[in-house]
């Protein structure tokens, strides 16, 4: 139960930061881009780079796969995604430790950690982009609503953690808290969103509640 529900953060309901196309976003995690970034941090021989490239390619593939996987789900399980990417990074480090000295390895570890954090942010941003498109938000609306939505997201994260800890006995209480939270958010959005946007938000909000219930029931 905890594995499926622990820290599900429904960023796509409560956090708006910007939009971008999937193709451009994937380029940030391409093998060639990773090699270029690392080249600015570590001076390696041609032979070392030849050893690194296929291993970094595996890391690149896993980053893209994980991002798309969580975006398709419609929510991010932060703890699960973080641990998964950390495991892949550790595997990458083991494959390369024979070719790098201690200083180079430390720089590589730091870079892989940054990549993992960027991948989690990227997954959030993609879901945010989808919500922005659904609500047809303007840049001005995104800028104005961001603090409100970030606060609601934090509250939602705490609620889902509690639901994961309590199990089935906490479902009815969660629904009450969810209604209170979204009703409060609705009041804060009404002055900024137009009627059509509010209608879209109501539909989207219900879809997300249904997804929580489906995830809860399937575990």
* Last residue in a domain, options 133, 164, 182: 133
Please tell me which residue, 204 or 58, carries the higher pLDDT value.
58
List Cβ neighbours of 125 (8 Å cut-off, separation of 6 or more).
Answer: 17, 18, 19, 20, 25
For residues 100 and 145, state if they share a domain: no
**146 shares a domain with 122:** no
Same domain, 208 and 106: no
Residue 207 CA: distances (Å) to CA of 49, 74, 150, 166, 172: 47, 10, 19, 23, 18
Residues 42 and 123 in one domain: yes
Tens digit of each residue's pLDDT (9 = 90 or more) over 136-145: 888 899 888 8
Same domain, 108 and 25: yes
**Segment of 25-34, 85-94, 180-189 carrying the highest mean pLDDT:** 85-94
Whether residues 25 and 95 share a domain: the answer is yes
Kindly give the pairing relationship between strand 76-77 and strand 8-9. Answer: antiparallel
Which of 91, 107, 133 terminates a domain? The answer is 133
Strands (E), 13-172: 76-77
Residue 172 structure tokens: 């009815």
- What is the enclosing helix (H) or strand (E) of 216? helix 195-217
Check whether residue 88 and residue 29 sit in a common domain. Answer: yes
pLDDT of 62 higher than 90: yes
Are residues 213 and 179 both part of a single domain?
yes
Boundary of a domain, candidates 81, 112, 133: 133
Based on C-alpha coordinates, what's the Rg of the chain?
20
| Coil vs helix vs strand at 102 | helix
Q: What is the pLDDT of residue 90?
A: 96
What pLDDT does residue 23 have?
47
Q: Are 121 and 62 in contact (CB under 8 A)?
A: no
Q: Is 215 helix (H, G, I), strand (E, B) or coil?
A: helix
For residue 18, the model assigns a pLDDT of 36
The reply to whether 65 and 107 lie within a common domain is yes
Of 13-17, 50-54, 154-158, 197-201, the one with minimum mean pLDDT is 13-17
- 6 belongs to a structural domain: no
Closest CA relative to residue 215, chosen from 163, 142, 157, 172: 163
CA dist., res. 120 & res. 63, Å (int): 9
| Residue 1, domain member (yes or no) | no
Let me know if residue 211 belongs to a domain: yes
What does the pLDDT read at residue 11?
38
User: Sorting pLDDT into bands at 50, 70 and 90, what band is 13?
Assistant: very low
Give yes or no: residues 91 and 116 share one domain: yes
pLDDT tens-digit series, residues 149-204: 777 776 777 787 788 778 778 888 988 998 999 899 899 889 899 999 999 999 98
Domain with 43, as residue range(s), is 20-133
Q: Could you give the percent of the chain with pLDDT greater than 90?
A: 40
Span of 7-16, 95-104, 149-158 with lowest mean pLDDT: 7-16
Q: How many domains does the chain have?
A: 2
Q: Give the residues across from 9 on adjacent strands.
A: 76
Residue 9 sits at φ, ψ, to 5 deg, of -110, 110
Residue 5 pLDDT class (50, 70, 90 cuts): very low
Residues 56 and 111 in one domain: yes
């Amino acid at each position: 139960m905890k594995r499926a529900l622990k820290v599900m953060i429904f960023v796509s309901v409560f956090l708006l930061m910007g939009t971008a196309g999937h193709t451009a976003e994937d380029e940030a995690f391409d093998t060639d881009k990773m090699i270029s970034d690392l080249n600015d941090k570590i001076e390696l021989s041609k032979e070392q780079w030849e050893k690194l490239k296929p291993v970094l390619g595996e890391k690149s593939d896993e980053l893209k796969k994980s991002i798309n996987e969580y975006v398709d789900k419609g929510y991010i399980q932060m703890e699960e995604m973080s641990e998964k990417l950390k495991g892949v990074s550790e595997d990458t480090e083991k494959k390369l430790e024979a070719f790098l000295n201690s200083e180079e390895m430390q720089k590589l570890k730091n870079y892989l950690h940054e990549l993992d954090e960027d991948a989690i942010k990227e997954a959030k941003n993609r879901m945010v982009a989808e919500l922005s498109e659904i609500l047809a938000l303007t840049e001005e609306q995104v800028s104005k609503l961001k603090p409100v939505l970030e606060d609601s997201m934090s509250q939602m994260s705490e609620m889902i953690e509690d639901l994961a800890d309590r199990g089935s006995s906490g479902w009815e209480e969660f629904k009450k808290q969810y209604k209170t939270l979204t009703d409060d958010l609705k009041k804060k959005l009404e002055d900024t969103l137009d009627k059509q946007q509010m209608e879209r938000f109501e539909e989207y909000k219900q879809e997300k509640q249904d997804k929580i219930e489906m995830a809860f029931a399937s575990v």
